[in-house]
Amino acid sequence: MVHAGVAGTSIHDGFGIRMRASDAQDDRVKAAVEEVQHFRLAAAEEDAAAQYALGKCLAVGMGVAKDAVEAVRWFRLAAAQEHADAQYALGKCLADGMGVARDVAEAVRWYKLAAAQEHADARYALGNCLLRDSQGVAMDVAEAVRLFGLAAAQGHADAGLRHNFCLKRGRGVAEEEVGAPAEKRRTVRKGIAGAV
């Protein structure tokens, strides 16, 4: 719980202990630095989860100086061990050109690997890539809509919006589903959820 007062901001930790906000910030920074040290040790032992976590810390500068190139290196090591979150993160870095040269075709390859492991964000990202015909990635609207539906069935809100938009506009769906009323869209989503 945070309270602003004349003297500044104070934080109650829920146990009746009051600290200055700067003290709490210092504690969070120390904890983040310690986590990064633990991640480094485990990552050096080829622990894919630690490699991914270290990559995330490096990507955002949490507990360590921000270093996108080094983040990509750790994502790549974890992704090679079939870590779905790392495969998605590596794909995102490649798609955005963060810490590595932008390469949508290579991003799609990593998104596909993560999507095959039922990674909702990867399914959504892959679907978005397949809606456009660019950089050596062939457009496949029907597959994009299918992926949006699968991700939506996993609770991915943006995928649900995109899926419903495609159904309403008739993009990548059978003719009888064009402009499908809400009940039809719910039925289609339930069918997709059963396929997951």
- Span 141-172, pLDDT tens digits: 999 999 999 999 999 999 999 999 988 887 76
Q: How many domains does the chain have?
A: 2
Please check whether residues 131 and 151 belong to one and the same domain.
Answer: no
Taking the chain (196 residues) in runs of 10, the rounded mean pLDDT of each run is 42 43 73 93 96 96 95 98 98 97 95 98 96 81 94 96 88 55 48 44
How many CA within 13 A on the CB side of residue 180? 22
Strand ordering across the sheet containing 2-5 = 2-5, 8-12, 18-20
Domain of residue 128 covers 2-139
CB 89 within 8 A of CB 122: no
Please check whether residues 30 and 83 belong to one and the same domain.
Answer: yes
Please check whether residues 129 and 33 belong to one and the same domain.
Answer: yes
Residue where a domain terminates, one of 100, 121, 139: 139
Residue where a domain terminates, one of 139, 163, 188: 139
The reported pLDDT for the residue numbered 188 is: 47
Please check whether residues 92 and 57 belong to one and the same domain.
Answer: yes
Q: CA 94, CA 193: separation in Å to the nearest integer?
A: 29
Residue where a domain terminates, one of 122, 139, 156: 139
The reported pLDDT for the residue numbered 118 is: 97
Please check whether residues 127 and 155 belong to one and the same domain.
Answer: no
pTM of the model: 0.76
The reported pLDDT for the residue numbered 56 is: 96
